[in-house]
Structures are given as structure tokens and as C-alpha cells.
Amino acid sequence: MKKTLIIANWKMHFNTHQASIYLSRLNRITSIHRNLEVVLAPTFLSLGQLAQEVDPRKFKLAAQNAYFKDEGAYTGEVSFSMLQGIVKYVIIGHSERRIYFNEDLPMIRDKVAAAYRNKLIPILCIGETKAERLANETKRVIHDQLTTALANLTSEEVRTIVIAYEPIWAISTFEGDIAKPQEIQKVIDYISYQISELYGSRVAQDVQIIYGGSVNSSSITSYLALDNCQGSLVGGASLNYEEFANIINKAYLLRK
């Protein structure tokens, strides 16, 4: 069984100094948990510093984004190849990237391929808007986002991907509705079903599906208790190191 993934997506919060203080405080109050992988996703600017300071037995690092070309005249971008040796994971296709930075399906497909080309593990975010949900389009949206993103991958690659189901209506910075675990279960089942249709049930069993959207230390247990929900991508609640440590502890108690 894979380790449960608990990921802090700090989004555009914390300068390097603040990130470093957070890490040392979190480090002080958390222990190494065999069945958990705790991942921190700071901004690009703090990644280099945290990579020097982090205890890799306790925490792994993730980038929040990267550009699909390996190098070249792309002002302002950071490539997957530059992240090698610094991070284990890269978050790809977060809804905030899709919405504010116009990342479309082909670009996300190219980023997923670039991650594998550079030996990094994608945390692929997928999820529907409130309007799509109300129009009963959740399955179509999930289907389109998944099939495009995985299009150029081998089944050996797909096997190692992390898929974060993040319904946009449940993310705190958008509508922030609290998603009912039963509702999340249906979509997790659908994601698994889609992967098994495309790559077979053996591959689908290996793919790690996690949930994100307004998760905190009170709700984490109800999501991790879902069938085949193997972790969480936490935004707002990860900004407070004590709250994030509580989330880690709840996950540990459930999986120990």
C-alpha cells in the first residue's frame, strides 16, 4: 500500500524567511511517520532554501507549477528540468492556473509529459466548477481533463501519477462550499473507473487519488476514510503550521 500523501499547497504565501521559520516550527512538532508522506509546496523562490533545510525523511518538496519546455527564451518561466534534485513532485493544472493563467488542456498534457521526461512525479489537479456541477457535467469535465492529461503517457508512467480531485466550488478561495464525503466518493470512483478503462485495473489500483478543497483538521478524517482516497492537498489550512501538524496527526492516527 502506498503512503498517504498530505500536501501543503502554500500558493502565493510566505517569503523565503517566513517559509524557513514555518519549516523549523513544523519540524519541531512532527515526527517521522512510516505510512505518511508529508509534502510542502512553497513558491519557487523558497524552494532552493527549503531544499537545503528540510529533513528528507520527514518532508518532501513539491513545486506549484513549471513550464513544459526544458530551457530557452521563455521569460519568467521555470522548467521541470531545473527542479530536478530539488523537488519530488510538481503540482500541475491547479484550477487557479487554469482560471487565472489560461492553462488549457493541451498545455497541461505537455506539462505532465515534461514532468515524466524529467523524472518528477506530477500531482495532476482536476475538478469541475460550480456551474458545471449544477449542469450535471462533472463526469464529462473529469473525463476530458483526465484523458487529455494522460494522453501521451505509458501505463508505467500513469501508474505513478498522483491525481488530486479538487472541485473548484469547494476550494476556499472560490465558493468554498464544504463537499460531502459521499459526493467525493462518487467522483473518486469515477476517476478510478476512467483510468481502468484506459489503462486496465492493475494500473488504476496503483494510481494515487487524493482530495483537496477546504480540508482542515476537523474534516481530514472523513475524506481519508473514503474508499481509495489516499491523501489530501491542503490550501488555506496548511498556512498555519500547528493546524497542518494536526492534519498530519489525524492522518497518522487513521493509517497507523
* Span 203-222, contacts to ligand 13P by CB under 6 A: 212-215
Q: Among residues 37, 27, 39, 26, which one has the least CA distance to residue 3?
A: 37
Break the chain down into helix, strand, coil percent, rounded to 5.
Answer: 45, 15, 35
Under a CB-based contact definition with an 8 Å cutoff, are residues 187 and 147 in contact? no
The secondary structure of residue 3, as a DSSP letter, is P
CB burial readout 55-68, b (16+ within 10 A) else e:
eeebbbbbbbbbbb
DSSP tally for the chain: helices H, then strands E = 12, 8
231 lies in the site for ligand 13P, by CB under 6 A? no
Binders of ligand 13P among residues 164 to 183 (CB under 6 A) are 166, 171-173
CB 83 within 8 A of CB 48: no
Contact 224, 4 (CB under 8 A): yes
> Minimum distance between the CB of residue 5 and ligand 13P, rounded to whole angstroms?
12
Q: Which residue is nearest to ligand 13P (CB)?
A: 235
94 noted as active-site residue: yes
Residues 75-114 that bind ligand 13P (CB under 6 A): 94
**Residue from 33, 37, 94, 96 carrying the catalytic annotation:** 94
Q: Does 229 bind ligand 13P (CB under 6 A)?
A: no
Q: Can residue 65 be called a binding residue for ligand 13P (CB under 6 A)?
A: no
Instruction: Map residues 147-166 to x or -, x wherever contact with ligand 13P holds by CB under 6 A.
Output: -------------------x
Can you tell me the distance from the alpha carbon of 23 to that of 197, in angstroms, rounded to the nearest whole number? 41
Is the Cβ of residue 172 or residue 221 nearer to ligand 13P in the bound state?
172
- Closest to ligand 13P by CB, 165 or 199: 165
Q: Is 184 in the site for ligand 13P (CB under 6 A)?
A: no
Q: Is 9 in the site for ligand 13P (CB under 6 A)?
A: yes
Continuous segment of H or E residues that includes residue 158: helix 155-158
Active site residue 183: no
Q: How far is the CB of 171 from ligand 13P (least distance, A)?
A: 4
> Looking at the annotation, which residues are catalytic?
94, 166
Applying CB under 6 A, which residues contact ligand 13P? 9, 94, 166, 171-173, 212-215, 233-237
